[in-house]
């Protein structure tokens, strides 16, 4: 399909607007899912933990789920004195290492975690210039930034204008609604981010209601990068002790998450 001249101009001007001013070596991996409960946070947390444990890169996990304490629980940082990115929303214009440090939690696994505000209305950081500045500052400080981004944020964030992702990981459950919603999301993003580099993951593939691999392929028309099984004991372990524990076990789920993490790392070339 050839794009009309005006579309080409529009894309060029977007590319210019999105031109990075942060560190050129940094990479942002955006984890997202068009349907709740698909395992978006589970995979963002696990893959970021794997990268922190097994590579020498400086890894940051940014949880953008405003109003949710999931990452505080999973990483056991459920302490009211912990600072979140809402606490620096008024300092964004003068954001530097000192200010950023206030919200970065250094976990034992060497993972650097940034948690969201628990007040639902603290959305100041999503204002275009603030978010650009915040992302730029993260790029300056970390090699790989994994973002756990809930789908409703696409209504706040102008994906065409903000350099918020180099790669996308879409997480879908193996059911018709989840797969179709993700397809719609991927198509929406491909339209505004031509050449989108992405991985499609089918999570909990061993759970019903499932679609056959052929059925999936027919709906999606995108290759599936990884199939991750559901494991009940691992759900309990990860939610109570943290995702780093997952990699102590030679289980199918640990092997698939390791495989996907390695694939992403290799393709980033870090």
Ligand X SMILES: Nc1ncnc2c1ncn2[C@@H]1O[C@H](COP(=O)(O)OP(=O)(O)OP(=O)(O)O)[C@@H](O)[C@H]1O
Positions in the binding site for ligand X (CB under 6 A):
33, 36-42, 65, 70, 150, 203-204, 228, 230-231, 234-235, 238-239, 253
Instruction: Please tell me whether residue 261 binds Mg ion under the rule CB under 5 A.
Output: no
| Residue 41 within binding range of Mg ion, rule CB under 5 A | yes
Give min distance, CB of 201 to ligand X, in A: 10
Q: What is the largest CA-CA distance in the chain?
A: 55
Please say which residue, 92 or 253, places its beta carbon nearer to ligand X.
253
Q: How far is the CB of 44 from Mg ion (least distance, A)?
A: 8
- Nearer of residues 39 and 86 to Mg ion, judged by Cβ: 39
Token pair, residue 174, equals 């193996």
Give burial (CB, 10 Å; 0-12/13-18/19+) of 135.
buried
Is 46 a binder of Mg ion (CB under 5 A)? Answer: no
> Cβ of residue 70: shortest distance to Mg ion, in angstroms?
6
Q: Could you write out the DSSP letters of every residue in 194-225?
A: TT--EEEEEESTTSSS---HHHHHHHH-S---
CB of 195 to ligand X, least distance (A): 26
Min. distance of Cβ 231 from ligand X in angstroms?
Answer: 5
Q: What is the dihedral of CA 48, 52, 54, 57, to 10 degrees?
A: 110
* Contact (Cβ atoms closer than 8 angstroms) between residue 157 and residue 41: no
Residue 241 vs 262, nearer CB to ligand X: 241
Compute how many residues bind Mg ion; rule: CB under 5 A: 2
Q: Which of 30, 253, 18 is nearest to 147 (CA)?
A: 30
Helices (H) and strands (E) counted in the chain, each on its own, are 9, 8
Give me the residues that bind Mg ion (CB under 5 A), please.
40-41
């Amino acid at each position: 399909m050839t794009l009309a001249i005006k579309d080409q101009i529009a894309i060029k001007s977007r590319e210019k607007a999105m031109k990075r001013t942060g560190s050129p070596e940094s990479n942002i991996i955006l984890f997202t899912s068009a349907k709740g409960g698909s395992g978006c946070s589970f995979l963002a947390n696990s893959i970021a933990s794997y990268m922190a444990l097994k590579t020498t890169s400086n890894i940051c996990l940014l949880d953008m789920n405003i109003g949710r304490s999931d990452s505080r629980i999973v990483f056991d940082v459920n302490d009211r004195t912990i600072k979140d990115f809402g606490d620096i929303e008024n300092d964004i214009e003068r954001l530097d290492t000192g200010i950023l440090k206030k919200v970065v939690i250094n976990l034992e696994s060497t993972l650097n975690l940034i948690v969201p505000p628990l007040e639902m209305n603290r959305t100041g950081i999503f204002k275009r210039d603030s978010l650009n500045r915040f992302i730029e500052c993260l790029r300056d400080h970390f090699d790989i930034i994994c973002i756990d981004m809930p789908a409703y944020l696409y209504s706040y964030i102008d994906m065409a204008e903000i350099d918020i992702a180099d790669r996308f990981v879409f997480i879908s459950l193996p059911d018709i609604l989840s797969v179709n919603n993700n397809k719609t999301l991927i198509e929406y993003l491909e339209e505004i981010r031509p050449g989108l580099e992405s991985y499609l993951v089918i999570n909990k593939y061993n759970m019903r209601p499932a679609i056959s691999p052929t059925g999936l392929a027919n709906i999606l028309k995108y290759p599936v990068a990884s199939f991750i099984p559901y494991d009940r004991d691992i759900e309990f372990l990860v939610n109570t002790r943290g995702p780093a524990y997952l990699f102590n076990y030679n289980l199918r789920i640990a092997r698939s998450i390791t495989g996907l993490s390695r694939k992403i790392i290799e393709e980033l070339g870090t």
